[in-house]
Amino acid sequence: MEQPNTQLTEEDVERFLSLNPRFFHGREKLLRSMRIPHVSGKAVSLLERQNALLREDIAELNQRLETLISHAHENDRLFNRLRSLVLDLMVVSSLSQLAEQLHLHLTRHFNVDEVRLLLSAPGTTHAPWIAPLPEADALEPHNDLLSQAKAVCGAFDQQLSQLLLGPDTQSQSLAMASMHYDQCYGLLVLGSIQKDYFRNSMDTLFLTYLSDVTARVLAHLSNQ
């Protein structure tokens, strides 16, 4: 049996629109995507060119808006994870618990592979994620790390990674934030096996904030 021809013709579309003059009401997105050339011979009319430029501007603005919304959603997720971490840090009662909570949250919720607290006065704790801060002469090529007001990220040489995270480290990129608590100081060091996970172009606001909170907790624990 021969199938009926269901292909629409221009006459069918014209007839439908004439019978439904309000079809485009509420369909602004469809109108914006339509291309209706303005008859002006071989040259492109000014009106048609202006419409094309306007569509390009709208498309660019929409792309910017989508990027801003995406960043806002990511910042919301990051803030909620950081909030949960800070709340858990506020109730720790020992240096070992502090290191444990940092390691737990950062590896589980922030895709960090290694976490290390390097302290100038680590005490007698045996927590696996706490170590004494390297001697000043060992850090001399990087002595500005302790004086930075904000966190530092990037792919550093393997010698520095091993100095901060131990000889068995597999981290290819690091994030480091200095901490000053009471009369002591230290470094919060995060490592990733991905070489481009921590980049020097990253926004370090959240990590700097985390190091400040950690320093306050350390000062409280040292006073106890």
CA dist 206 and 222 (Å) reads 24
Where is mean pLDDT largest: 14-23, 61-70, 104-113, 122-131?
A: 104-113
For residues 107 and 78, is the Cβ–Cβ distance under 8 A?
Answer: no
- The reported pLDDT for the residue numbered 20 is 82
Q: How high is the mean pLDDT of the chain?
A: 82
180: Cβ–Cβ under 8 A, 6 or more apart, which residues? 215
Mean pLDDT, range 132-154, rounded to an integer = 73
Determine the pLDDT at residue 71.
Answer: 77
The pLDDT value given to residue 197: 93
Q: What is the mean pLDDT of residues 90-117?
A: 93
Give me the residue label for tokens 């339509």.
34
Task: With a cut of 80, say whether residue 191 has pLDDT above it.
Answer: yes
Chain-centroid distance, C-alpha 78: 8
Residue 114 to residue 193: CA distance in whole angstroms: 9
What one-letter code names the amino acid at 105? H
More confident residue, 31 or 82: 82
Q: Which helix (H) or strand (E) holds 142?
A: none
Q: What is the pLDDT of residue 62?
A: 86
Strand partners, 153: 175
Looking at residue 194, its pLDDT comes to: 93
Q: What is the pLDDT of residue 140?
A: 65
Q: Give the mean model confidence (pLDDT) for residues 202-219.
A: 90
Q: What is the DSSP letter of 199?
A: -
Q: Would you state the structure tokens that stand for residue 156, as one six-digit string?
A: 């550093």
Least confident of 41-45, 108-112, 154-158, 214-218: 41-45
**Confidence (pLDDT) at 157:** 84
Give residue 133's pLDDT.
85
The string of pLDDT tens digits covering residues 154-186 is 898 888 889 899 999 999 999 999 888 877 788
What CA–CA distance (Å, rounded) separates 174 from 151? 10
Closest by CA position to 113, among listed 156, 170, 195, 66: 170
